[in-house]
Structure 1
Amino acid sequence: MKEKFLSLEEFIKKEKEKARKLRQTRWWRRQLEKGVCYYCGKEVGAKNLTMDHKIPLSRWGTSDRINIVPCCKECNNKKKYLLPWEWEEYVKRLKITNVEEG
């Protein structure tokens, strides 16, 4: 029997569908209710949070709870396709700045 491997495009399509289903769950609604960005820690309110994959789909991350976090649009736009360890230094600077301002 020949195994079929998904192309990156097929994989992303499949994982986006999983993410759409996850958005409808009680678990995701509870994440949003906190109103806090996972990365910068700012309180932005549930309506201003987006779903982010810590390991991006474009880098073979999955749409599982362990890989999905709520984040503000600003962080989501800045993070893009970076992996957690590539993004870590920026996040550290953000949290230090927020503590100093707060």
Structure 2
Amino acid sequence: MSTVLPDEDLVVDLSAASSRPWQTVVWNDPVNLMSYVVHVFREYFGYSVERANRLMLAVHHDGHAIVAEGAREQMELHAQAMHDYGLWATVREADA
């Protein structure tokens, strides 16, 4: 019986894909006040007033903002927390 070893290129591709960061994206909605969104970003993420305002304005003007980047599991936790605060959020893989 012979041992089958994984293709070396496949192993490299899998490790590269798993190390790619993920993002939590907050989307604009017609419900939440801008001041509340700033409050959430400051309270949950601990962002400064300036950073929270900048992200809120991106949500407001661009329709969305990337509020965090990292491991997929952590980004899913962030998205769930945003839902718990009443904000619309999704998780996506970061661009290469």
Same-fold call, TM cutoff 0.5: no
TM-score w.r.t. the length of structure 1 is 0.27
Q: Could you say which structure has the greater relative contact order, defined with CA pairs below 8 angstroms and 6 or more residues apart?
A: 2
TM-score (ref. length: structure 2): 0.28
**Structure (1 or 2) with the larger CA radius of gyration:** 2
